[in-house]
Amino acid sequence: MHKRAERILMSPTRHSDALRAAQMYYLQDLTMDAIARELRTSRSTVSRLLSSARESGLVQIQIRNPLDTGPELESLIRDTYNVDAHVVPVLETLNEAETLDRVAMQAARTIGPLVDSNAIIGVAWGSTLSAVSRHLTRKITHDCVIVQLNGAGNMHTTGITYASDIMRRFGSAYGARVEQFPVPAFFDHAATKTAMWNERSVQRILELQSRMSIAIFGVGSVDADYPSHVYAGGYLDESDLGILAGSDVVGDVATVFFRGDGSSDGIVLNERSTGPALAELKQVRRRICVVSGASKINGLRGALTAGLATDLILDEASARRLVGFDGAA
Amino acid sequence: MHKRAERILMSPTRHSDALRAAQMYYLQDLTMDAIARELRTSRSTVSRLLSSARESGLVQIQIRNPLDTGPELESLIRDTYNVDAHVVPVLETLNEAETLDRVAMQAARTIGPLVDSNAIIGVAWGSTLSAVSRHLTRKITHDCVIVQLNGAGNMHTTGITYASDIMRRFGSAYGARVEQFPVPAFFDHAATKTAMWNERSVQRILELQSRMSIAIFGVGSVDADYPSHVYAGGYLDESDLGILAGSDVVGDVATVFFRGDGSSDGIVLNERSTGPALAELKQVRRRICVVSGASKINGLRGALTAGLATDLILDEASARRLVGFDGAA
DNA sequence: AACCTATATGCACAAACGTGCAGAACGGAT
DNA sequence: ATCCGTTCTGCACGTTTGTGCATATAGGTT
């Protein structure tokens, strides 16, 4: 009755045909035509079989960049910030949206191979993560859990994709259970947070978060050209924004704010925020930060200085600004 | 001066162009045309960049078969012989040579991902291994060693590709040092072998063999349609062949013979053979057996019964015969 | 049985791709 | 500077591949 057959289940024979086709195409270099003859079907069907083999994660394509010979940009970032950098080649003339799309696609495919069975994957929300979630490639895993990193207030929803959509996409890409975090992004009063944090339903999520093996997030930057929706989306009121402007806060990760030197102590807003404390986040083995758009550079610098990420995926222009040489060579 | 620039060293800019192209093509789904415009070159150059990225191992394509849903043939073999089976889909109407070629290609690409830095890889010789060696894809590793498993007598050379060629191809695919085993396949007298085995030059090889992390070999079968060249190539004389025929020997791995029940004790020929004793071979963590051609089935059964392989790559027809149902369903 | 909906197939066309070839660019050697 | 051998490049062509559309097929509902 419903139209949403979200989980794509291939019939067994179709699945095994896809496998055979993939083997013949990618491992034996046969043409689709030749494969079609062997499978007694049409070439176009083979083309579609191969598509589904790729989409379903049956075929894994990955690019291993021998670190030593790689572009010096990545090594430079690696050395400066102690983070595994993946620079996405993007023509500088593209607009923000196109850049984001390409960064997101490459991020999604870079993340894929890192996800394994029994992983607990923390996911933030925001336009970056939304874009990433739209490009995930399927991968068959067992007993993975996707857990939401921070609440997503729902007073305004200004066209931004809901956090739950992001989570759902991650969940269905990896066949994982999804655990949402049903609290607002910010509480109005720190006391309410304290109270909620003692609720068993919330503690269950916090407990999951404490056992995360992978965390995936973007960064917000207070001075971004078009600011993260955290700053613009009505989550914070005038006085909150005033406080931020008056302090040295440069950005946030999962609605937890920090200063340019990576510190976050004494930022009162964080007491009402629902994201994981930075110290807690840093317990996670693999922390993947995705950034697109050079205007987030200040927030990003802070996040890296704070050591929040182990892996960084960002566009080339931002990468260049990050290490200093903006324009030419 | 010399023409052999065996090791393909790409210029740094070409290498980084290849990397960028690969990222854009495989990770961002751009067309070669679009990539060409971004790299300010022609589409055909991009096509070639991508080829070289694949060949040089920059792009790794692998097929992960979710074991539970996989073709039941593989599970059946796995359960019967306790070996990780990779069945290569091949049309049964193909001739031996074509089948071998396709099995070899898929074997080569299956082996690739298993090779890692610091591996010591033992390699046998024979027509199967020769075919495999011709299809290896490059992979950048550090400090790997390729060590020859058994001597290759050189009295006859009847058009068979030399063992040293096989070794060399493995070596250059993985950027590994190659250690040949400069002894005949069989000694005429066991005493000579004993003497040689005390030579330091030989002991160095034996020591390497004892530390192998991967071994790759085919099987010989005494009753094969066109027998392994061990049986036909003049390595053994009339009386030797008589002994084999008179015993219950079914086949060999790296010129070491065994019976159908997997035993090898008391086979006198083995005392003059230069391959690793079966017990020694079984110390190796990963033992990959490649088989093409259903006529090797008896030798293969013996080898599997002896537990010589941890991984088995073979064509579909042989796989079917191996588990019983030859013809139809 | 009749119907409906969702999915799979093959055809035909357009888009994307690989490769032989001839000329350009490079890098020594003389 | 000139020569020669090698490698790289772009073009042009034929091949291979993706995809909209119309049709067929399967699965479920009335």
pLDDT at A285: 94
pLDDT at A66: 66
Q: pLDDT category, A328, cuts 50, 70, 90? A: very low
Q: pLDDT category, A11, cuts 50, 70, 90? A: low
Q: pLDDT category, B329, cuts 50, 70, 90? A: very low
Q: Which helix (H) or strand (E) holds B216?
A: strand B214-217
Q: pLDDT category, A22, cuts 50, 70, 90? A: confident
pLDDT at A279: 93
CA–CA dist B304, B79 (Å, integer): 12
- B188 CB-contact burial (10 Å; exposed 0-12 / middle 13-18 / buried 19+): exposed
Task: Calculate the average pLDDT of chain A.
Answer: 82
Residue percentage of chain A with pLDDT more than 70 = 85
pLDDT at A230: 64
Determine contact: A12 vs chain B, CB below 8 A. Answer: yes
pLDDT at B288: 96
Tell me which chain B residues have a C-beta less than 8 angstroms from the C-beta of A26: 61, 63, 109
Task: Calculate the average pLDDT of chain B.
Answer: 82
Determine contact: B18 vs chain A, CB below 8 A. Answer: no
Residue pLDDT, tens place only, B72-112: 788 888 889 999 898 888 877 778 888 888 899 889 989 98
> CA A41, C1' D24: Å apart?
15
Q: Cα Rg for chain A, rounded, in angstroms? A: 21
Residue pLDDT, tens place only, A68-117: 555 678 888 888 999 999 988 887 777 888 889 889 988 998 998 889 88
Scan for tokens 């096989």, then name that residue: B166
Helix/strand/coil percent split, chain B, to 5: 45, 15, 40
Residue pLDDT, tens place only, A49-68: 888 888 877 888 888 776 55
Residue pLDDT, tens place only, B157-180: 544 457 878 888 898 888 888 888
CB atoms within 10 A of CB B195: 12
Instruction: Dig out the tokens for B36 from the structure.
Output: 């060409």
**Alpha helices (runs of H) in B198-296, residue ranges in sequence order:** 200-210, 229-232, 238-246, 278-281
Write b or e for each residue in A191-222: b if 16 or more Cβ atoms lie within 10 A of its Cβ, otherwise e.
eebeebeeeeebeebeebbeebbbbbbbbbbb
Decide if pLDDT at B322 tops 60.
yes
CA–CA dist A30, A24 (Å, integer): 6
Decide: helix, strand or coil at residue A97: helix
CA–CA dist A320, A325 (Å, integer): 6
Q: Which residues contact A73 (CB under 8 A, 6 or more apart)?
A: A85, A87, A316, A319, A320, A323
Instruction: Dig out the tokens for B255 from the structure.
Output: 């010129």
Distance from CA of B36 to the nearest CA of A (A): 12
B28 closest CB neighbour out of A12, A71, A102 = A102
Distance from CA of B91 to the nearest CA of A (A): 7
**Which of A11-20, A69-78, A195-204 is modeled with the greatest confidence?**
A195-204
Which nucleotides of strand C are protein-proximal, with an atom < 7 A from a CB? 6-12, 15-20
Rounded mean pLDDT of A16-43?
A: 85
Determine contact: B69 vs chain A, CB below 8 A. Answer: yes
Residue pLDDT, tens place only, B198-249: 888 888 889 999 999 999 999 988 876 666 666 666 666 667 777 777 788 8
pLDDT at B212: 95
Determine contact: A58 vs chain B, CB below 8 A. Answer: yes
Decide if pLDDT at A126 tops 90.
no
CA atoms within 13 A on the CB side of A126: 30
B67, B72, B75, B77: CA torsion to nearest 10: -150
CA–CA dist A262, A250 (Å, integer): 9
Decide if pLDDT at B63 tops 90.
no
